Amino acid sequence: MLKAMLGEAWHAMGANRLRTVLTMLGMVIGVGSVVLMMAIGQGAQYAVAQTISTLGSNLYILISGSTSAGGLRSGGGGGPTLTVADADAIAELDGVSQVAPMQQGTQQLVHGANNWSSTVVGTTPAYFDARSWTIVSGYPFGDSDVRAATRVALIGQTAADNLFGADDPLGKTIRIRQSPFVIIGVLGKKGQNLDGRDQDDTVIIPLTTAQRKVFGNPFPGSVRLIMVQAHSAEAMPAVEKSMTALLRQRHRLREEQDNDFYLRNLAAAADSAAETTRVMSLLLGAIASVSLLVGGIGIMNIMLVSVTERTREIGIRMAIGARQKDIRAQFLLEALIISVAGCLIGLVFGVLGALSINAVTDMVIVISGGSVLVAFAVAAGIGIFFGFYPARRAAALDPIEALRHQ
């Protein structure tokens, strides 16, 4: 029975080939664009997830205000409000795993005849752990280097490429503000951060050395930035609270006074970036779904035309014994074939489109089995949904009226 019906559906569709193909085209475009848009959206999500994983997890950045006034005033003439002692105190708090005081700025790096401007970070060994930064060759500096203010440096991939080209930077000397630094390690590659800045364009040196030789610091013991890592995402709210309380107490801030530091939650920033791309990819999918809907309406339209055109045929079939469900199944099957075939072709085009975007741009495109499955289920659903009404109309025809139809 089903085989006979399939054959008949094939026949009916073949009788109006152009119309069938055009109707299918609606589904092809719909499914194709859904697959493509989902691939682009998921690609963007994947790229952001990759970036987030390079930032280090559960991080806070404390940014100091200035001492010139009671309130917080950026760019003031006074010294930074945060100190290395603050950092040490924070390290004692529950739920805190790493604390790294930092001083950073852009500096000219010189090696032989090569010049390169890069971000120089002065910090403590905790920084490498907090940022989960791998070291591909050499080793990181230790606490003794910070105490003794040794002139050692770890270099990021981009800075290394620009200063040393294909040479191995390990053991070579670079100059920052006339001071020579020996490169003791090369950092692993991280790529861009969420703002699109190249994280590998950097040099990391001990905090003390940075303050004395590179940036200069008229306020000994103070720092502009402290990076704090919590044990876990769950611990973050508690850490934030106790850290703020600790700093206010250490800075002797009165109840009515504002904080003299900023606290920036990098995890939240990462979350919001992930959320933004998630919403964007949903939006892309939703826009593409509209074309799928239009394709579905096209199927319904054509099926209604087909029912009207074939009213007499329906009457004949009923007269020789077709039950309502037989007629309904016949038209439903046709709608389903059109939508599923259109879906398959659309899938192929969508995947080809995604692959070609992948080939010609550096955009990340991810085609998941899930999105393919969703597109397929939606197409079948559309076939049934938009085919049902015409099929029901066909089945509800009165045999005598239908037979009289010209």
Partner 1 sequence: MAQAIVRVVALGKSYPTAAGPFPALRGVDLAIEPGEFVAIMGPSGSGKSTFMNLLGCLDTPTSGDYFLAGRNVAHMGKDKLAVLRNRTIGFVFQGFNLLPRMTLEDNVALPLVYSGIGRDERRALARLELGRVGLSDYAASLPSRISGGQQQRVAIARALVNAPQLILADEPTGNLDSHTSDEIMTLFAALNDEGITLIVVTHEPDIAAHARRQVRFLDGLMVSDLPTPARRAGQARSAC
Q: Hey, which residues does 102 pair with through a beta bridge? A: 225
Chain residues 15-54 in contact with partner 1, contact rule CB under 8 A: 15
Considering the complex, what minimum distance in angstroms separates the CB of residue 400 from partner 1?
A: 5
Considering the complex, what minimum distance in angstroms separates the CB of residue 315 from partner 1?
A: 8
Q: Using the rule CB under 8 A, which residue among 324, 380, 384, 392 binds partner 1?
A: 324
**Residue 288 DSSP class:** H
Considering the complex, what minimum distance in angstroms separates the CB of residue 326 from partner 1?
A: 6
Considering the complex, what minimum distance in angstroms separates the CB of residue 403 from partner 1?
A: 7
As given in the structure block, the two tokens for residue 339 are: 């939508």
Q: How far is CA 91 from CA 141, 163, 181, 262, in A?
A: 19, 36, 29, 18
Residues binding partner 1: number (CB under 8 A): 24
- Given the complex with partner 1, which of 161 and 313 has the nearer CB atom? 313
When computed from its CA atoms, the radius of gyration of the chain, rounded to whole angstroms, is 33
As given in the structure block, the two tokens for residue 138 are: 């050499």
- Given the complex with partner 1, which of 151 and 328 has the nearer CB atom? 328
- Nearest CA among 90, 95, 35 for reference residue 343: 35
Strands (E), 129-201: 135-138, 152-155, 173-176, 179-187
- CA 309 – CA 394 distance, rounded (Å): 11
- CA 64 – CA 82 distance, rounded (Å): 5
- List Cβ<8 Å contacts ≥24 apart for 318-321: 318/397, 318/399, 318/402, 319/399, 319/403
Q: Using the rule CB under 8 A, which residue among 213, 224, 317, 328 binds partner 1?
A: 317
- Given the complex with partner 1, which of 12 and 247 has the nearer CB atom? 12
Considering the complex, what minimum distance in angstroms separates the CB of residue 47 from partner 1?
A: 53
Give the binding range for partner 1 (CB under 8 A) out of 47-55, 276-284, 315-323, 357-365: 315-323
Q: Using the rule CB under 8 A, which residue among 87, 300, 302, 318 binds partner 1?
A: 318
The tally of CA atoms less than 13 A away on the side-chain side of residue 240 is 17
Give the binding range for partner 1 (CB under 8 A) out of 7-15, 158-166, 175-183, 360-368: 7-15
Q: Using the rule CB under 8 A, which residue among 275, 323, 355, 368 binds partner 1?
A: 323
Give the binding range for partner 1 (CB under 8 A) out of 22-30, 173-181, 246-254, 317-325: 317-325
The answer to whether residue 325 forms part of the interface with partner 1 (CB under 8 A) is yes
As given in the structure block, the two tokens for residue 183 are: 């490169």
Considering the complex, what minimum distance in angstroms separates the CB of residue 307 from partner 1?
A: 15
Give the amino acid at 329.
A
Q: Using the rule CB under 8 A, which residue among 52, 120, 292, 322 binds partner 1?
A: 322
The answer to whether residue 393 forms part of the interface with partner 1 (CB under 8 A) is no
Considering the complex, what minimum distance in angstroms separates the CB of residue 1 from partner 1?
A: 6
The answer to whether residue 4 forms part of the interface with partner 1 (CB under 8 A) is yes
Q: How far is CA 78 from CA 65, 74, 249, 251, 260, in A?
A: 9, 10, 20, 15, 12
Q: Using the rule CB under 8 A, which residue among 11, 17, 252, 254 binds partner 1?
A: 11
Q: How far is CA 228 from CA 91, 92, 252, 303, in A?
A: 8, 12, 21, 64
The answer to whether residue 1 forms part of the interface with partner 1 (CB under 8 A) is yes
**Binding flags for partner 1, 294-313, as an x/- string (CB under 8 A):** ------------------xx
Give the amino acid at 209.
T
Using CB under 8 A, list all residues that contact partner 1.
1, 3-5, 11-12, 15, 312-313, 315-326, 399-400, 403
